[in-house]
């Protein structure tokens, strides 16, 4: 890179923001937590992190005026964990939560089944990886760290999946919008590779 990419980390109130910032800086980005629309729209890359409940996260985005800002982002955008789910149209959490609608699809509860713990917390393999710049250098069968009770079923936007009782989307993409259900900032070399690809490779 000729200069460090400026990454705007959207202040969505998630507790993982500090670790996301540090992980992006380790791969050479200049990362800044912000709720300022000008900062977000001027950034080279935008990351939407998130943990917790979909309804509370969407309420925070709406009340801060960031829902429309995220629709206006033209740079590559990456949603992480709950941030990935927020990119979709709807979650069945709390009886139904309208979300950003930047990617098609609905987030659903992981169905309980014998031997399957919910919430899903731990390392899981990545499967069915598509040829995508975000996944360059990541091999099928490598493991990433997940913490979630809801997930997006696989569909046309799925570029990697994982199986926890049922097969769900691990990484999704539509245009310049990507989402990772797992936590790249907690996923060792695999997570670092994905973040480096987001900073250096996507959108070329």
Query: Closest Cα partner for 60 from 100, 32, 96?
Result: 100
Tell me the two tokens of residue 72.
């206006």
Measured CA to CA, the distance from residue 5 to residue 76 in angstroms comes to 11
The whole-model pTM stands at 0.94
Measured CA to CA, the distance from residue 40 to residue 47 in angstroms comes to 9
- The answer on pLDDT for 33 being more than 70 is yes
Domains along the chain? 6-200 (3.40.50.880)
Residue listed under structure tokens 């992006």:
24
Interacting residues of 95 by C-beta distance below 8 A, sequence separation 6+: none
Average pLDDT (145-170) is 94
Query: What is the predicted pLDDT for the residue at 14?
Result: 62
Confidence of residue 51 (pLDDT cuts 50, 70, 90): confident
Query: What is the predicted pLDDT for the residue at 95?
Result: 87
Any idea which residues carry the catalytic annotation? 81, 183, 185
- The answer on pLDDT for 1 being more than 50 is no
Query: What is the predicted pLDDT for the residue at 15?
Result: 57
Query: What is the predicted pLDDT for the residue at 177?
Result: 98
Residue-wise pLDDT tens digits, 93-148: 888 999 999 999 999 999 888 888 888 889 999 999 999 999 999 999 999 999 98
Measured CA to CA, the distance from residue 189 to residue 54 in angstroms comes to 28
Residue-wise pLDDT tens digits, 66-95: 999 999 999 999 999 999 999 999 999 888
Query: What is the predicted pLDDT for the residue at 2?
Result: 52
């Amino acid at each position: 890179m000729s200069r460090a990419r400026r990454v705007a980390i959207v202040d969505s109130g998630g507790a993982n923001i500090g670790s996301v910032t540090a992980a992006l800086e380790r791969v050479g980005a200049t990362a800044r937590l912000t709720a300022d629309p000008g900062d977000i729209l001027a950034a080279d890359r935008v990351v939407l992190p998130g943990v917790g409940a979909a309804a509370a996260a969407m309420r925070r985005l709406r009340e801060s005026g960031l829902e429309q800002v995220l629709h206006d982002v033209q740079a590559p955008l990456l949603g992480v964990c709950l941030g990935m789910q927020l990119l979709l149209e709807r979650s069945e959490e709390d009886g139904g939560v309208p979300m950003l609608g930047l990617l098609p699809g609905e987030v659903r509860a992981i169905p309980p089944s014998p031997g399957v713990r919910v919430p899903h917390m731990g390392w899981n393999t990545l499967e069915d990886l598509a040829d995508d710049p975000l996944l360059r250098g990541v091999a099928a069968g490598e493991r990433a760290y997940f913490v979630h009770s809801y997930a997006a079923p696989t569909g046309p936007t799925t570029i990697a999946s994982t199986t926890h009782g049922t097969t769900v989307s691990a990484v999704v993409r539509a245009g310049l919008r990507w989402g990772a259900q797992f936590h790249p900032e907690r996923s060792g070399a695999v997570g670092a590779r994905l973040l480096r690809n987001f900073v250096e490779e996507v959108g070329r």
